[in-house]
Amino acid sequence: MANQIKQIIGIIMLIIMCIACTNTHEYPAEAVSTFKASCVSSSGNKQMCACVLEKIQEKYSYEDFSKIEKAIGVGGDTVDFMAFVEEVKRTCATVPAP
């Protein structure tokens, strides 16, 4: 019985650690589809757009991303974000198709 409890506690701890290690922020479905549609319409590359979004989600919370979107809309300072996106696009362009 004590061994079973230790195993259960170990499994729970492992699950908690895996969840804590996840580096991707969840974005609302509408934001994801809007980003992908806009990206695909400008690049024509669905796979690269999905990769770019994944990298953005790894780095920026949805709250931060929303602030950046608003700054882009009003001509605010988004130089760092745009440089990040350009770097990610180059990286994602080299990812082979599944």
CB 55 within 8 A of CB 25: no
Per the CB < 8 A criterion, the answer to whether 25 and 56 are in contact is no
* Whether the Cβ atoms of residue 67 and residue 61 lie closer than 8 Å to each other: no
What pLDDT score does 6 carry?
52
Residue 18 has pLDDT above 50, yes or no: no
Closest CA to 26 of 52, 80, 65: 65
Digit-coded pLDDT (tens) for 21-54: 455 799 999 999 999 999 999 888 889 999 999 9
Would the pTM count as exceeding 0.75? no
The pLDDT, as a whole number, for residue 97 is 63
Q: What residues does each domain of the chain span?
A: 24-93
Q: What is the pLDDT of residue 7?
A: 58
Mean of pLDDT over the chain: 82
